[in-house]
Amino acid sequence: MVCHGLTLLRLRCAWQWVGASGGDIFWANNNDENGSRTRLFTRARWRYVWGMSSFSEDDAFEAAAVPLSQRAMARPSAAYLDGLNPAQREAVETLSGPVLMLAGAGTGKTKALTTRITHLLATGTARPHEILAVTFTNKAAREMKSRIGGLMGEAVEGMPWLGTFHSVCAKQLRRHAELVGLKSNFTILDTDDQIRLMKQLIEAAGIDHKRWPARMLSGIIDGWKNKALTPDKVPVADSGAFDHKGVELYAAYQRRLLDLNAVDFGDILLHMVTIFQKHEDVLDQYQRWFRYILVDEYQDTNVAQYMWLRLLAASHKNVCCVGDDDQSIYGWRGAEVGNILRFEKDFPGAHVVRLEENYRSTPHILAAASGVIAANKGRLGKTLFTSRTDGEKVRLIGHWDGEEEARWIGEEVEAMQRGTRGMAPLGLDHMAILVRASHQMRAFEDRFLTIGLPYRVIGGPRFYERMEIRDAMAYFRLAVSPEDDLAFERIVNTPKRGLGDKAIQTIQRTARSNGVSLVEGARLVCQGKLLGGKGLKELTFLVGSLDRWHAQVRAEADTHVELAEMILDESGYTGFWQNDKTPEAPGRLENLKELVKALENFENLQGFLEHVSLIMDNETEEQGEKVSIMTLHAAKGLEFPAVFLPGWEDGLFPSQRSMDESGVKGLEEERRLAYVGITRAEEICTVSFAANRRVYGQWQSAMPSRFIDELPEDHVEVLTPPGLYGGGYGAAGMAASASPAMAGMVGSDLHEKAHSADVYNSPGWRRLQSRSQQRGMAMPSEARNMTIDMTAVSAFTEGERVFHQKFGYGEVIGIEGDKLVIEFDKAGSKHVVAQYVVSADKADDVPF
């Protein structure tokens, strides 16, 4: 069956035509060298060919083989080109040959990228399936899809090859799995499975797993995979770890994965690179197929991704890479800035377009960011500019310690929320606190909880990485394929069935000696009564349940959603969490519901399992106005009117560890992180640092970050009162001698005092407090109290059992002002705002 000569423009016509007829027959007009032809498609066929439901690659291969004639294509009224600046327009319209789009922060990168795809489609230069467009995140892929749809005026469903590196590669790999010894229904392991597997291998190799933890091996192997190194290609110099058995373990791990018909994230790309290198015919097909390639966030590509791209682009070289070398912050994960720096060498004659007009931030913010990043060497170089002339300088403030920093930011957030210094009130959704490391978040969470400021933490464990989701998935995996040993290991004793290490060893031994899967091994154990009492009974029941579920999956007797619910129910897993009285239990049950809901979007369990590990998001769209707290890494790609950047202290940011491990390279990456942080801000950017901070329970003092010295003074307003720390600084002090002046704050005896327990009684501390208050840095507590709803407190009585979203269950032991004093079962005694507390008996109703 051949279907070709269609662009989305035509697709639109076809839809309209059908809409008018209301029939089930599609009409498609082909204009190509073969002349005009009219074909009839059924709706199902149409969807099939264009990948709207299940995409058939064979059809598309055929389609791609037919050259497309552009002359017959109607040129669209290119309304989508309006509103592009000259650079963007150049990036959009230079369709042939390699293009590097250097897009600074906030310069309309996504706009240019999506318009470029639209342009390819609308001019008939390429058909949807001839475009390969890769991103790093599902979010970015979704965004691109919807924006292209917006530009085209139609939902774009027919772009089968727009997705993340991993989803696109997984799709390819399912097609060619047998070339690397896999079956096309291979499972994709998550990190947890990976580590459990490696642990087994380490123990089997007789290596001390304490000295060489599985986590480390996992990191090392991931690193090799990121570099596209198969076990036979790992350089000798890299093989010192694990008693020189690292490479051996890697090879063993890869063999084990093949046995399990499984891959890890790294393999998805590595296998495809291997296939392309070894099977020219396959590569050739794809090369002809993907006539245009687009890559988002090119600076974040690792070696494997780079090789994959180069192989695919090698023949036609119509590759457009978009990125910003200044925002490369994933080097520690294998990303190679070198890829983007080398682009012009890799693709001679490459057209480089710089997007430098920023539409996000004020000039001061841009200047500050530029000032910092200028210290990096070996940049491709961009100068961001804006037509804006308004805006505040970047604000800089020092604090005595981390707690005060959190307190100050809390108050500042509340002030902005009310509207401050003539500025309009700002919603909490428009403010963000960006930290270097996630442990810094705690200070803010504690503080915000205390003052009753709603916040949301972005990041943290992904939805599908949560324990309960993995457990549930393991049950589903087993129901679909009983030979999934890893899944069996995971759930055999979850919920508790009295099947501990010994029972599991018996099962494994039996399975191994009979050459069968663990489920079959378990069956033999039951039959041979190789276990005693309770364990045997439970195991027999489990094996029986698994059989039943598997039969139901095959019979398709129930819908997969009902089946999933049944599995969770009958396994006792739902009940397990219902009986669990820890504060997390309600949330976990909620997550399980979410998981079942997510199933509805798939046709069956198999389909769900094949894709879910690549596409499940953590986007539980909580509604409500909340300040966001997240890491700088998580903030990439986002923007907020007001941004707080706390913890700018040497050692914390830039992180000591980065500098120790990667030297100048590490420092430069940290600096890019600073650049990313500053450029997230649209209107107000506040950088802060603390002289003292409790790290692992120890007080430590630190120098202000060297990045603070790099902020150009003309664009910075120092909020810290002059003379506060005994150094004559402020704007003038900074000008005189930036670094020593800022460092002066901790250079005195206060420094030493910080280490002692009576720090709060030190003269320096008292001086700081009184000055802070004089200058309005800390808002008097009376003022804050006025905004608190006192009735909330009165809703509780002493002795009442309550539930708190963070601290769990506890008992009210008193009421002090606007706070409840609660003795928590787990967390001890705390003062908390009533707003976050409910009666214990209502705890189940609250969707915390």
Partner DNA sequence: GCTCGTCCCATTTTT
Partner DNA sequence: TGGGACGAGC
Show which residues are catalytic: 109-110, 296-297, 327, 680
Beta bridge mates, 103: 355
Please classify residue 21 by burial: count the beta carbons closer than 10 Å to its beta carbon, then call 0-12 exposed, 13-18 middle and 19+ buried.
exposed
Taking the CB of residue 681, how many other CB atoms lie within 10 A of it? 30
With a CB cutoff of 8 Å and minimum separation 6, the contacts of 562 are none
What letter does residue 757 receive in the DSSP assignment?
G
Nearest approach in angstroms of CB 175 to DNA is 17
CA distance 229 to 398: 47
The residue among 11 and 207 lying less far from DNA, judged by its C-beta, is: 207
Q: Does 775 bind DNA (CB under 7 A)?
A: no
Q: Which of 94, 376, 438, 739 binds DNA (CB under 7 A)?
A: 438
Comparison of 300 and 485: residue with beta carbon closer to DNA: 300
Q: Are 759 and 402 in contact (CB under 8 A)?
A: no
| Cβ 131 vs Cβ 290: under 8 Å | yes
Q: Is 493 in the site for DNA (CB under 7 A)?
A: yes
> Does 103 appear as a known binding residue?
yes
Q: How far apart are CA 595 and CA 458, in angstroms?
A: 20
Q: Is residue 657 near DNA by the rule CB under 7 A?
A: yes
Report in angstroms the alpha-carbon separations of 511 from 72, 203, 515, 520.
64, 19, 6, 7
419: annotated binding-site residue?
no
Whether 74 has a binding-site annotation, put simply, is: no
| Residue 381 annotated as lining a ligand binding site | no
The least distance separating DNA from the CB of residue 9, rounded to whole angstroms, comes to 31
553 and 480 in contact (C-beta within 8 Å)?
yes
14 vs 473 by CB, closer to DNA: 473
Distance, in Å, from the CA atom of 304 to the CA atom of 269, rounded to the nearest integer, reads: 6
Q: Does 417 bind DNA (CB under 7 A)?
A: no
Q: How far apart are CA 202 and CA 772, in angstroms?
A: 56
CA quadruple 772, 776, 777, 782: dihedral positive or negative? Answer: positive
Q: Is 224 in the site for DNA (CB under 7 A)?
A: no
| CB 240, min distance to DNA, A | 19
Of the candidates 97, 154, 83, 89, the one whose C-alpha atom is nearest the C-alpha of residue 116 is 89
CA 173/CA 282 separation, integer angstroms: 11
532 in a labelled binding site = no
CB of 761 to DNA, least distance (A): 18
Q: Which of 64, 335, 451, 469 binds DNA (CB under 7 A)?
A: 335
**CB 503 → DNA: shortest distance, Å?**
4
Stretch that binds DNA, among 33-41, 154-162, 631-639, 712-720 (CB under 7 A): 631-639
168-174 own/partner pairs: CB under 8 Å, 24+ apart: 168/132, 168/134, 169/268, 169/269, 169/271, 169/272, 169/308, 170/268, 170/614, 172/272, 172/275, 172/286, 173/263, 173/268, 173/271, 173/272, 173/275, 174/610
Q: Which is nearer to DNA, 502 or 509 (CB)?
A: 502
Using CB under 7 A, which of 208, 661, 749, 844 touches DNA? 661
Residue ranges of alpha helices (H) inside 600-654 are 605-615, 632-635
SS3 of residue 155 by DSSP: coil
Structure tokens of 201? 């291998």
Binding mask 676-715 for DNA (x = CB under 7 A): ------------------x-xxx-----------------
23 vs 500 by CB, closer to DNA: 500
588 neighbors 466 (Cβ within 8 angstroms): yes
Residues 175-214 that bind DNA (CB under 7 A): 191, 209-210
Closest CB 437 distance from DNA, rounded Å: 4
**Interface stretch with DNA, choices 72-80, 309-317, 519-527, 632-640 (CB under 7 A):** 632-640
Shortest Cβ 661–DNA spacing (Å):
5
Q: Does 509 bind DNA (CB under 7 A)?
A: no
Q: Are residues 811 and 822 in contact, defined by beta-carbon separation less than 8 angstroms?
A: yes
Contact mark string toward DNA, 449..478, x via CB under 7 A: ----------x--x----------------
Of the residues 183, 233, 502, 775, which one makes contact with DNA according to CB under 7 A: 502
User: What residues between 281 and 300 interact with DNA by CB under 7 A?
Assistant: 297, 300
Q: Site for DNA (CB under 7 A): how many residues? A: 51
Which token pair is 489?
């290991």
Segment lying near DNA (by CB under 7 A), choices 354-362, 571-579, 656-664, 729-737: 656-664
Minimal distance in Å, beta carbon 597 to DNA? 19
126 is known to lie in a ligand binding site: no
Q: How far apart are CA 721 and CA 393, in angstroms?
A: 17
137 contacts DNA (rule: CB under 7 A): yes
Confirm or reject binding of residue 97 to DNA (CB under 7 A). Answer: no
- CB of residue 798 to DNA, shortest distance in Å: 25
Q: Is 744 annotated as a binding residue?
A: no
**Residue 500 interacts with DNA (CB under 7 A)?**
yes
Give yes or no for a contact between 324 and 330, defined as CB atoms under 8 angstroms apart: no
What residues contact residue 818 under an 8 Å CB cut-off, 6+ apart? 785, 788, 790, 793, 833, 834
- Residue pointed to by tokens 């080398």: 342
The reply to whether 603 sits near DNA by the rule CB under 7 A is no
* Contact stretch for DNA (CB under 7 A) within 11-19, 283-291, 369-377, 493-501: 493-501
Binding mask 553-572 for DNA (x = CB under 7 A): --------------------
Smaller CB separation from DNA, 22 or 697: 697
Q: Is 108 annotated as contributing to ligand binding?
A: yes
Q: Which residues are annotated as a binding site for ATP?
A: 103-110
Query: In the complex, which residues of this chain contact DNA (CB under 7 A)?
Result: 136-139, 164, 166-167, 191, 209-210, 265, 297, 300, 330, 332-333, 335, 436-439, 459, 462, 493, 496-503, 535, 614-615, 617, 630-631, 633-634, 636, 655, 657-658, 661, 666, 670, 694, 696-698
